[in-house]
Amino acid sequence: MSHFAFACMPAQGHLMPLLAVTRELVGRGHRVTIPTTKEFQQQVEASGAAAPLYEQPSNREFGDDPDLMREAKPDSFPLAAVFRMFLDEAAGVAPQVKSILDGDRPDLFVYDQMTWAGWLLADKWRVPHVMLFPSLVTGQQRPSFAAGIEQMSDPETRASLDDAVAATRAALDLPPAALSEFGAHEPELGIAFLPKAFQPDAEQIDERYEFVGPCLGERTGTTGWQPPAGDLPLVYLSLGSAFNQQPTFYRTVIEALRDEPVRVEMAIGEQVKPEELGEIPANFRLHGFAPQLEILPHASVFITHCGMGGTQEGLSFGVPLIGVPQMFEQQMNAERVVQLGLGKHIPPAEVTADRLRTAVRELLADPEIGGRLTAMRAAIQTAGGSARAADVLEHALTQYANR
């Protein structure tokens, strides 16, 4: 029985595909360890993995203000501040994960694209870099996160970030590294949770990267959700779990679709209360948590923040998308959706009831989009999902052991 350990940031969009792969590995007789926070311990353990706990560090850039995310806009989170947030998390988490795994080193160590604690530990232990990509593949061939900071930040900010990188590495007795390396380093193996057909400039990406498509797996229980009565098209809306405190946006959606011949299932998160949204039309049903994988097979349009997880889930069921991205990564996904003819992109600053209404009408009436969605759905199915990801990891285990 081999031991796999994963370093993954505690966030739904990053953990969900990993847990699907974990179930596959555990089902094949492997042992899996995923250090995590208390919030996600139950979900991790339900996948069959061990879930030793660590404490998530407080973020010095954005603090612990519970209202920070309310009505948040993309420009609320400057790229340099987001970089420092991830770096702070890496500095706080890496020593804890090191302590957890030092006495139980895995046969293969794998880490998430944005979990920089994983890269630090892989460097510290001098083990092969195996990286999971829940988002578009970045690296030397693609514009990177850190390279974006180099272009957008002033010299003083960049120097400050260089110092922060050096201090974080020094705490683990690692030599300094350039700021750009945090966004451009190349793993020995990369596993991307999207089909290659969705990756821009895929021809520039070498054989180190395996595109296995979305790994949907099983969620921890179903809700018994049933489609609303009638045969009108179903519009589903979700902004995910991080940027969903958007009552103004939800009121705009209600205005846009209240008189349309559609049924609407709208996830508003746990922080926004229905009474904030005014009168709820008869063709709307609101959810705090929406059972996305239960709803999407019945949906005709998916209004989404275009996180990669939700994007790929929608496309897995052949649902056209209206992307309203809330951050830079999601904007790239929304732009790719438009490039491939799979939906629409409305920047948050340009959202109006008229524009949303028009986008829904156009997608419902488009006679050609179904063929493009069918082709992408076929690419997703061919990619192999969690079974293919487990195959790749097992092969890597053998390959690296024979060095």
Q: Supply the DSSP symbol for 280.
A: P
Lowest mean pLDDT among 77-81, 131-135, 325-329, 331-335: 77-81
- Range 1-23 average pLDDT: 93
Q: When comparing pLDDT for 33 and 144, which is higher?
A: 33
What's the rounded Cα separation, in Å, for the pair 31 and 6? 11
Judged against a pLDDT cut of 90, whether residue 271 lies above it is answered with: no
What's the rounded Cα separation, in Å, for the pair 380 and 229? 30
Closest CA to 285 of 231, 369, 225: 225
- Range 335-357 average pLDDT: 97
Residues 6+ apart with CB under 8 A from 113: 131, 132, 133, 134, 135, 138
Domains of the chain from N-terminus onward: 3-213+384-401 (3.40.50.2000), 234-381 (3.40.50.2000)
**Tokens linked to 388:** 């293919």
pLDDT confidence of residue 234: 98
Closest CA to 4 of 43, 37, 48, 34: 34
- Range 194-220 average pLDDT: 88
**Model pLDDT for residues 161-179, shown as the tens digit of each residue:** 888 888 889 989 998 887 7
Dihedral sign for Cα 117, 119, 124, 129, please. positive
Per DSSP, the residues of 177-245 read: --TTHHHH---SEEEESS-GGGSTTGGGS-TTEEE--------S------PPSSSSPEEEEE-TTTS--
pLDDT confidence of residue 60: 52
Asked if 210 and 388 touch (Cβ cutoff 8 Å), the reply is yes
Rounded to a whole number of angstroms, the CA Rg of the chain reads 21
Percentage of the chain surpassing pLDDT 90? 61
pLDDT confidence of residue 75: 60
Q: Average per-residue pLDDT in the chain?
A: 88
Percentage of the chain surpassing pLDDT 70? 88
What's the rounded Cα separation, in Å, for the pair 313 and 377? 10
**Tokens linked to 37:** 């926070």
**Model pLDDT for residues 286-317, shown as the tens digit of each residue:** 999 889 999 999 999 999 999 999 999 999 99
pLDDT-derived band at 148 (thresholds 50, 70, 90) equals: low
For 112, other C-beta atoms within 10 Å of its C-beta total 23
pLDDT confidence of residue 138: 75
Q: Pairing mode, if any, of strands 234-238 and 263-267?
A: parallel
